[in-house]
Amino acid sequence: MSKEILLELKNVRTWFQVEAGTLKAVNGVSLAIQRGETLGLVGESGCGKSTLGRTILRLYRPNGGEVLYKSKNIWNYSKSEVKRFRKEVQMIFQDPYASLDPLNVVHDVLEEGMRIHRLYPDKARREARILALLNMVGLNEDHEYRFPHEFSGGQRQRVGIARALSVEPELIVCDEPISALDVSIQAQVVNLLKDLQKKLGISYLFITHDLSMVKYISDRIAVMYLGGIVELAESRELFDRTLHPYTQALMSAIPIADPDVEQRRRRILLSGDVPSPVDLADGCAFCQRCRHAQERCRRERPALREVRPGHFAACHLAEEVSHDL
Ligand code: SF4
């Protein structure tokens, strides 16, 4: 049975005019996020993934294409629909410290969204809800009247998660939510997000540059390069049978704990620099760094196509260059 699509992007383009020309931060992206799933969005910094997240959140208006939430274009919403969207689609930031008002205690942080969206108008029920939210993210009443600077990085991210949950969202865009945290804390936050998803059925778009971490939280993974999706598949399938040369290079850079395996395996080093996303040339965006590039790749931009069931790649030679890692 096919799952309900909560959010869908159809050929979305978010471009910016800069001095040097047109910066094509998001350049023709089509994606869908199903209810209750985690879609990982992976790519190097500057690939456009955060711009894509902000386009989904209605913070950037795309120049072309459509962003549909619950089957309706978010730019055709009435005022009340915008308000509902702002409640149902939340964000967790990379740096929770920067996103929390240093003058507000946690109680006020968690209460703000409820007030704006008129949730729990009864004071006693609102107080109970705040305590429940703290418990949900592994904090307790001792933390309720503390300021952000009194918390560790991991605890602050827990406050950020509780704030997102306070308005009962259906989709959370998590923009590099663990990259500012110690490695030991990263797994705790990822496990917390997974537990909350199981309990509450929330969908996540999990944006990160770390392919190894996204494997553990994502049902499906989309790999982004220079404004476009180059590969999309279920998490396990992507790791078992990588199709796109760029994903293969990212995979080969993930450290492996076993020193024997680490020594035997082949690293794929990317040659050349990431080209500028300003006035991109025709053809495959990965062409200049791809060891398989041919004349056709320079002429013709490859479309994202289904190469194996449910496994999409934007590469003319996906069938030939794919291999088991
Ligand atoms: Fe490499 Fe050509 Fe595939 Fe692009 S289309 S990734 S240049 S083989």
**pLDDT (tens digit, 9 = 90+) per residue, 215-263?**
889 999 999 999 999 999 999 999 999 999 999 999 887 776 666 666 6
Sheet holding 89-92, edge to edge: 89-92, 171-175, 203-208, 38-42, 220-225, 228-234, 311-313, 305-308
Which is more confident, 37 or 288?
37
Q: Is the pLDDT at 315 greater than 90, yes or no?
A: yes
- The share of the chain scoring above pLDDT 90, in percent, equals 76
Q: Is the pLDDT at 273 greater than 80, yes or no?
A: no
Cα–Cα distance for residue pair 269/249, rounded to 1 Å: 7
Task: State if residue 297 touches ligand 1 by the CB under 6 angstroms criterion.
Answer: yes
Ligand 1 atom nearest to 246, measured from its CA: 6
Among protein residues, the one whose CA lies closest to atom 6 of ligand 1 = 315
- Which of 23-37, 277-291, 297-311 is the least confident region? 277-291
CB contact at 8 A, 55 and 78? no
Pocket test for ligand 1, best of 246, 290, 304 (most atoms within 8 A of CB): 290
Give the tens place of pLDDT for each residue, 6-63.
Answer: 999 999 999 999 998 999 999 999 999 999 999 999 998 889 999 999 999 999 999 9
Pocket test for ligand 1, best of 229, 292, 299, 305 (most atoms within 8 A of CB): 292
- Which of 83-87, 198-202, 273-277, 296-300 is the least confident region? 273-277
Q: How confident is the model at residue 324 (pLDDT cuts 50, 70, 90)?
A: very low
Helix (H, G, I), strand (E, B) or coil at 266: coil
Task: State if residue 315 touches ligand 1 by the CB under 6 angstroms criterion.
Answer: yes
- Mean pLDDT to the nearest integer, 111-133: 95
- Mean pLDDT to the nearest integer, 85-91: 97
Ligand 1 atom nearest to 245, measured from its CA: 6
Q: Is the pLDDT at 280 greater than 80, yes or no?
A: no
Ligand 1 atom nearest to 296, measured from its CA: 2
CB contact at 8 A, 51 and 60? yes
Ligand 1 atom nearest to 302, measured from its CA: 5
Ligand 1 atom nearest to 284, measured from its CA: 4
Q: How confident is the model at residue 310 (pLDDT cuts 50, 70, 90)?
A: very high
What b/e string do you get for 156-170 counting C-beta neighbours within 10 Å, with b at 16 or more?
Answer: bbbbbbbbbbbbbbb
Task: State if residue 228 touches ligand 1 by the CB under 6 angstroms criterion.
Answer: no
Task: State if residue 287 touches ligand 1 by the CB under 6 angstroms criterion.
Answer: yes
- Cα distances (Å, whole numbers) of residue 106 to 123, 147, 175, 303: 16, 6, 21, 47
The pLDDT, as a whole number, for residue 161 is 96
The pLDDT, as a whole number, for residue 268 is 74
Cα of 305 vs centre of ligand 1, distance in Å, is 13
pTM of the model: 0.92
Pocket test for ligand 1, best of 231, 243, 246, 284 (most atoms within 8 A of CB): 284
Task: State if residue 215 touches ligand 1 by the CB under 6 angstroms criterion.
Answer: no
